[in-house]
């Protein structure tokens, strides 16, 4: 028998995965296998490069623990996480655009009254900021009973979960709108911060000549009865790194003015199908 070709080899592998009992698993596996094989052929991956890849993947896995998910960080820095958000939460024209969820959300943050502050631990570098506006439906009216789950890094660049000096749930709050659909969150101006670069994902950023910074932003999850939930950020227009966010999360429509202690932004939600 002559040598079989890479195409014939791929066909053999795909055939072996075609009898998967779970049709969705079959779809995902065969698509992933095809792309892996095409990648190997297209770059002409050498055995040494393949082995370096195997060792790199193992090292990424070894870096993971309950508080650190290095594969998610890698996915973020390769633009994959943002892509997953984009295709699953496609915003209708005129609604607030989504962006990455990120690894620092915490369930069960403190419920706060409109106008309350999320700052539990004040810091010297704090620059007060009030973010306010309306939550409204794409169909026009203000939304009563909309929930805004807000979180951000403290002025030292760390989230509470990264920093044992912060009180748990510092810089987090959950707000619910009244009949006027208005919201008002008191906080501090966000700062840009680096994602962890002490692991393999950071090493890859360095090897590829990329910095590891995110531009200054505040996280929001805005949900309301009868509407699609939006997961997004608001970015500070005066921040560095807006053109080179390490996780590719910036969208022009999410860049807002945060100087002068005030930020005005209306969230627009799409009615659920």
Instruction: Name residues contacting a second copy, limited to 86-125 (CB under 8 A).
Output: 86-88, 90-91, 93, 97, 101
60 is an interface residue for a second copy by CB under 8 A: yes
Separation CA 180–CA 185 (nearest Å): 15
Closest CA to 75 of 55, 60, 65, 89: 60
Q: How far is the CB of 76 from a second copy (least distance, A)?
A: 10
Burial bucket for residue 72 (CB in 10 Å: 0-12, 13-18, 19+): middle
CB 110, CB 124: distance < 8 Å: no
From the list 175, 193, 248, 265, which residue makes contact with a second copy (rule: CB under 8 A)? Answer: 248
From the list 57, 123, 125, 272, which residue makes contact with a second copy (rule: CB under 8 A)? Answer: 57
Supply 222's token pair: 């805005």
Residue 136 or 251: which CB sits closer to a second copy?
A: 251
Residue 118 or 247: which CB sits closer to a second copy?
A: 247
How many Cβ atoms sit within 10 Å of the Cβ of residue 75?
18
69 is an interface residue for a second copy by CB under 8 A: yes
Give the DSSP letter of residue 206: H
Separation CA 178–CA 197 (nearest Å): 42
Instruction: Name residues contacting a second copy, limited to 170-209 (CB under 8 A).
Output: 207-209
Residue 52 or 125: which CB sits closer to a second copy?
A: 52
81 is an interface residue for a second copy by CB under 8 A: yes
31 is an interface residue for a second copy by CB under 8 A: yes
Return the ∠ at Cα 8 (arms to 6 and 13), rounded to 5°: 90
Residue 86 or 114: which CB sits closer to a second copy?
A: 86
Binding marks (x or -) toward a second copy, 216..235, rule CB under 8 A? --------------------
Residue 75 or 187: which CB sits closer to a second copy?
A: 75
Give the DSSP letter of residue 251: -
9 is an interface residue for a second copy by CB under 8 A: yes
Separation CA 54–CA 71 (nearest Å): 14
């Amino acid at each position: 028998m002559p040598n079989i070709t890479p195409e014939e080899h791929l066909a053999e592998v795909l055939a072996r995965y075609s009898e998967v009992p779970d049709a969705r698993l079959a779809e995902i596996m065969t698509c992933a296998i095809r792309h892996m094989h095409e990648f190997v052929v297209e770059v002409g991956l050498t055995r040494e490069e393949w082995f370096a890849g195997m060792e790199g993947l193992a090292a990424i896995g070894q870096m993971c623990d309950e508080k650190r998910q290095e594969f998610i960080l890698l996915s973020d820095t390769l633009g994959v996480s943002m892509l997953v958000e984009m295709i699953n939460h496609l915003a209708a024209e005129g609604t607030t655009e989504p962006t990455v969820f990120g690894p620092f959300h915490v369930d069960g943050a403190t419920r706060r009254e409109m106008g309350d502050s999320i700052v539990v631990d004040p810091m010297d570098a704090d620059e007060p900021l009030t973010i306010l506006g309306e939550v409204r439906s794409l169909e026009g009216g203000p939304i009563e009973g909309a929930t805004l789950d807000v979180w951000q890094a403290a002025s030292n660049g760390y989230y509470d979960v990264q920093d044992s000096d912060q009180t748990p749930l510092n810089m987090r709050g959950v707000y619910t709108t009244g009949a006027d659909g208005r919201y008002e969150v008191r906080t501090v101006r966000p700062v840009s911060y680096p994602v962890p670069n002490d692991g393999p994902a950071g090493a890859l950023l360095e090897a590829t000549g990329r910095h590891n910074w995110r531009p200054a932003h505040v996280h929001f999850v805005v949900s309301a009865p009868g509407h699609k939930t939006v997961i997004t950020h608001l970015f500070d227009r005066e921040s560095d790194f807006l053109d080179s966010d390490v996780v590719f999360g910036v969208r022009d429509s999410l860049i807002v003015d945060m100087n002068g202690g005030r930020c005005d932004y209306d969230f627009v939600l799409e009615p659920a199908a």
